[in-house]
Structure 1
């Protein structure tokens, strides 16, 4: 049951991102054709919706992988960084 709730949440967020891009596409064409300011505002709202949904999906995947220990700490140019053993006390 938990998987069903999680998958349905991800599908709804994914569809929200697609709807945001579709809203942007439709209203940017209308704004370029007619020049109404409302179309420009709705195009920006669609772009913000798509960005917010995509950021949520990225954060969801990041924290899920972090929780499962699949992320590796990397330094400059992808080189692994060694963790210090124990902090030395003076």
Structure 2
């Protein structure tokens, strides 16, 4: 059950990042979608969605690897 929940946690940001890529691609081909007033706003929204989805997935994987001790020594916390 835990693996299924982890998969669902990763699928939602992946869909958001995919939608961001779609918006950026539509801007390149000058296809304006309805909720956006012009192409530059559409591209910026797509870029933000892409970065948010990619950042969430990257942070999730980094946190999981850090918890399992599979990260490089430079990313480990130093003891003071």
| TM-score normalized by the length of structure 1 | 0.68
* C-alpha deviation, 1:18, in angstroms: 1.0
Q: Does the alignment pair 1:3 with 2:38?
A: no
Larger radius of gyration: 1
Instruction: Report runs of 4+ in structure 1 exceeding 2 Å deviation.
Output: none
Query: Of the two structures, which has the highest relative contact order with CA contacts closer than 8 Å and spacing of 6 or more?
Result: 2
Output aligned runs, 1:45-56, within 5 Å: 45-56=45-56
| TM-score (ref. length: structure 2) | 0.76
* Counterpart position of 1:41: 41
Number of matched pairs: 72
Q: Helix, strand or coil for the counterpart of 1:30?
A: coil
How far did residue 15 of structure 1 move?
1.5
